[in-house]
Chain A
Amino acid sequence: MKALYKTRIAALALPMIIWLGGAPASAGTGLVFVSNERSSQLTVLDQSDTVIKQIKTCARPRGMRFTPDHAKIVVACGSDNTIALYDVATQKLVKRFRDIPDPETFDLHPNGKDLYISNEDDSEATLIDIETGQVKGHFPTGPEPEGVLVTPDGKLVFVTSEAANLVHVIDVATQKVVKDIITATRPRRFALTPDGKELWVSCEMSGLVEIIDTATLTEIGRVEFQPKGMRKEEVTPVDITMTASGKTLYAALGRANHVAVVDVAKRAVSDYILVGKRPWGLRLTKDEKKLYVANGLSDDLSIIDTSSGKVLKSVPVGIVPYGILIDE
């Protein structure tokens, strides 16, 4: 069984190792990358939000993240059990790790090499070193682990289990699951307040975001969503993202076809913005002037002007867009 998890580096890694010696990527190209889970492609948009490229990827790409130097994009491909690295400048595949069972999302430890991955089909999270490809740890979770968040101090890793309604807490020092926190129904994604004190968790089937105190690891509050004219059952929040100041949180409300704007201090919704069908992936630009929204059921992005709360543009991408990255 153990041998199954042994990860090998594909032949493609060789040129990569040479390339690694080169200079890191510069300030950022301004390109926007969108993973499309059904059409297995990355859609690339330029600074004017125009689609300039569709890159064929490994199968069912979902979670994405830049390496700390922004030179590469790490992509989790669930259907062919691969973690792939794409070069931001050339948009070519540079490295891949096979035999990672059904990876969905992940987070990178601040050390830049430890990748904590949720393995959706295997009820576990794994730790893989993206420099060597070595799998360094397995952590038991409930069924369908999903969102992963490593705290900025690198001490704790949080993993949701969608089907078990739990948030698992991994202690990095001891490499153990130290707590399972019972949440509302179908916990999905995380956002951490800048002071690291509050962990916000979206609970898809309960239509709310739960707030966990990171010191006591208990629930201390929640924000419920109810856009006008929508049934409670349709309010299914998935991705959430917080501004750098920690003042505002955005939540993609799934079947309710809205993005909620939340005043973090007041724990209250200040606005609902109508977007495409089943919005679930979110990404703010660095200046926080624009919010990109991936709409899973209308195969497009809604690009929101955050100051006016209006959609500036809708851009068709691939089939079932999932995650968004902006290189800046």
Chain B
Amino acid sequence: MNKILLAFAACVISLGSAWAQSEPTRDIRIIYIDRAEDPFYDPPPQTDGVIRIENKPPMAGAELGLKDVTALGRAANVRFILEHHTVAADGDVAADLSAIANSLPAFVLLDLPHDDLVVAAKAVQPGSLALVNIRDTSDDLRRTLCGTALFHTIPSQSAYSDALAQMIVRKNWKRVLTLIGPEPEDQELAKIFTVSAKKFGAKIVDTKPFIAGNDPRKREENSTALMTGDSDYDVIYVADTTGDFGRFVEFRQVKPRPVIGSEGLEASAWHRSAERYGAPQVNHRFERDAGRVMSDMDWSAWVAVKAAAEAVAREKAYSGPAISAALLAGKIDIEMTKGIPGSFRSWDHQLRQPIMLHTADAVIAMAPIEGFLHENSILDTLGLSDRDTNCRTK
């Protein structure tokens, strides 16, 4: 009996020495930066009857990311820490960022307005620290800020638009009627969609500007029936960032043709109803912790933390410069729960990723749509290529 016990004890000891888990030897600091009184998070106007979802800070996505990489940290002998820094309402982003950079963090997430992102990108020495935009989809940030410390995990408007264009070309709904709103943002969306349509071989057969309202003298611009009755098209593209016109297009159109863009079939980085590749589990974890649906921004924050953790665990990149370099080296497959591993583009530091095409309650397709090919990665069929930016691949 004693012998058996002894043998057992010896076995446990040898096991302990060979495989023991050690205590974390390093802290990896991830800083989440936002701005006080950011109007982006003001409750949206609810006076026009349009149901708008209030923007919620994607800190919740970063927090889930941190939770999800805890076990990986244990295996890599590190501890991931998420710190929250808020720039004062009238504060200087550049000054705050310099101070943060001097404290040598490993990685930074930026939940900041567009103009702050531009300032932030230039406030930090390129290559010294990855600053990740988890919120702004503007193409110009990708076009003009190449070579800076700025990375993007949220897709660009072009990527969303390309996904829609791939879908309609694949369906052979190539003749498009575009309905464009009066806001500058609407015009910008339509402009980007025009480029996407041309890129994939769809044809914009007619374009109608619209305005909201019922003024009988402006029927040509506010009546869906009049605007959709005369031309011959396969699909209607709506560019409407306000939402008060677009929501009435589907089923008021004269011809039985589908609606895409701001209404109908929409493009997103992420959706609550995604049901493949482990997405339901991520949604479920997020909803359980945050008490709300995971947005594109939440997902972008979540995936950014995961990407940093992969760089730490796989490439032993423990510092700001090392993580930045590891992410750009393209050697890490970033698991995004969208079925295809991601990586960062060398020219504009944009995360390559599939785009979800969805209705309110179902993901209809994932772009890149089957059949669209690229010499480098099929994910490069979506969004800005190095030729579309001022950046060049080194």
Contacts and interface: CB of A to CB of B under 8 A. Distances in A.
Interface in A151-169: 161-166, 168-169
B32 to A, nearest CB: 20
A123 B71 contact: yes
B68 A120 contact: no
Interface in B349-394: 377-379
Contacts of B69: 164
A172 to B, nearest CB: 11
A178 B379 CA distance: 39
A164 B334 CA distance: 11
A284 B15 CA distance: 34
Contacts of A186: 278, 335
Contact of B11 (A121, A173, A182, A217): A173
A144 B282 CA distance: 9
A74 to B, nearest CB: 22
Contact of A180 (B75, B314, B334): B75
B108 interface: no
Interface string B273-295: 00000100110110000000000
A143 B68 contact: yes
Given A163-B278, A231-B378, A173 B68 contact: no
A179 B74 CA distance: 10
Interface string A115-156: 000001101000000000000000011111000000000000
Contact of B15 (A141, A166, A171): A171
B15 A178 contact: yes
B379 A233 contact: yes
Contacts of A205: 333, 335, 340-341
A297 to B, nearest CB: 8
Interface range for B? 35 or more
A174 B339 contact: no
B221 interface: no
A121 B281 contact: yes
What is the interface of chain B mostly: helix, strand, loop, or mixed? helix
From A141, A164, A168, A184, name the one whose CB has the most chain B CB atoms within 10 angstroms: A164
Nearest to B275: A38
A117 to B, nearest CB: 16
A89 interface: no
From B12, B69, B339, name the one whose CB has the most chain A CB atoms within 10 angstroms: B339
Given A205-B335, A206-B341, A217 B19 contact: yes
B191 to A, nearest CB: 30
Interface residues of A, number: 37
A180 B77 CA distance: 10
B325 interface: no
A298 B57 CA distance: 39
Nearest to B71: A142
Contacts of A245: none
B310 interface: yes
B378 A144 contact: no
Contact of B75 (A120, A121, A181, A255): A181
A165 B335 contact: yes
B71 A216 contact: no
Nearest to A122: B285
A243 interface: no
Given A121-B284, A174-B12, A180 B74 contact: yes
Interface in B68-119: 68-72, 74-76
A185 B284 CA distance: 21
Interface of B: 8, 11-12, 15-16, 18-21, 67-72, 74-76, 278, 281-282, 284-285, 310, 313-314, 333-335, 337, 339-341, 377-379
17 contacts: A142-B71, A143-B67, A144-B281, A163-B335, A164-B71, A165-B335, A173-B8, A174-B15, A177-B21, A178-B15, A180-B75, A185-B333, A186-B335, A205-B335, A205-B340, A233-B377, A236-B339
